[in-house]
Amino acid sequence: MQFLDRLASMVDRLAAYPVWEVALEFALIWLVVFAVMRFVQGTRAAGALKGFLLVLVLVTLASRVLGGTGSFQRLGLLYDRFLALVAIALIVIFQPELRRALVRLGETPFLRGTPKDIKHVVAEISAAATYLSRAKFGAIIAVERSIGLSGLVEGGTVLNAELSSRLLQTIFFPGSALHDLAVIIRGRTIHSAGVQLPLAEPEDMPEEGLGSRHRASVGLSKECDAIVIVVSEETGSVRIAERGRLSDRYSPAELGPELERRLTSAMRRAARTAPAPHAAAASDPNEASIAGHMALADEPHRHTET
C-alpha cells in the first residue's frame, strides 16, 4: 500500500510545522479561493471554473495514485506536461473575466466630480427618466466615471452638448434620428448619442424576457465602472446597472436618491485614494469645471427591445 504510506508520510511532515504557520497558509489559500469564486459568482465562468477544477483534481489524483506506484511513470510524465498547459487554458477560457479583473484593479479614481456636479447630473437624468418612464419611451443613459468608454462602445454621433433633461427627452423621442441605441454623458455634457453598447449574454440576465436594452446596460457595466440607467419601452420601468448587476425597478421618486447615493459613494472613494488638490487649483473655477467634466461621464443609450 504504497499510496497509504506516502499519505502517512505527508501527514507526519505536516505535523512537524508550527500550527500557526499551517493555519495562516490555509487561511490565505481560502481567501484566494473565496475571492476568485466571489468574482465569478453569477457568471458563466463559475460553471466553467467548477468543471475545470473537477477535471484538474481527478487528473491529479489519478496521476499520484497510479504514477506513485512506479508502474505508470509515463502517466506522471504526461501529467507534468499537462500542468504546463493549464496556465494557457486558464487564459483562453477565462479571458473575459481576467480582462474585467485587470480593468477593475486598474480603476484609478483620481478623476472626480464635485457634489454640485453630481446634483446637476442626477437632477437632469432623473427628470428625463421620469418623463420617459411615464411615456414608455425606451432609453439607455450611461454615466462614465474613471474608465473611459471609447474602447467599449461603437458608432454614435458626437454632440458635446450641455446636459439637460429636455435634450435627453428629445433624443429618446420615438422617430428622432438618434432615439435608438444609447447616449453617453461625460461630466456635465452629453458626449454622444446613438451609441452601440456591448450586449451581455442572456444567461447573465437576472430575469427572463428582458430585452436588448437591459442586456446592453449589463454588458457595458460588466466591462467598466460606468453606471447605466435603462428605461423599458414595454413597461416604463427604470433600473440601474452597475458592476454587471441589474437592480430592481425604481419608481421616479426613488431613482434620484439612489443614483445620487451611488455617484456620491464613488466620489468619496475617490477622495480617500486621490491626492489632495493644490490650493491654487482648487481656487480656479475653470480647472474645477474641467475636473468635474472628466470625473463623471454619462452616456445615454437606447436599444430596441426584443
Q: Tell me the per-residue pLDDT of 203-252, one tens digit each, with 9 for 90 and over.
A: 888 888 888 999 999 999 888 888 999 999 999 999 999 988 899 999 88
Tell me the one-letter amino acid at 266.
Answer: A
8 Å CB contact between 201 and 46: no
Q: Is 232 within 8 Å of 305 (Cβ atoms)?
A: yes
> What are the extents of the domains in the chain?
2-105, 115-301
**Is the overall model pTM greater than 0.75, yes or no?**
no
Residues 6+ away with beta carbon under 8 Å from 139: 128, 129, 132, 168, 172, 183, 213, 229, 230, 231, 300, 301, 302
Q: What is the CATH number of domain 115-301?
A: 3.40.1700.10
> Each residue of 176-209: pLDDT tens digit?
888 889 999 998 899 999 999 988 888 888 888 8
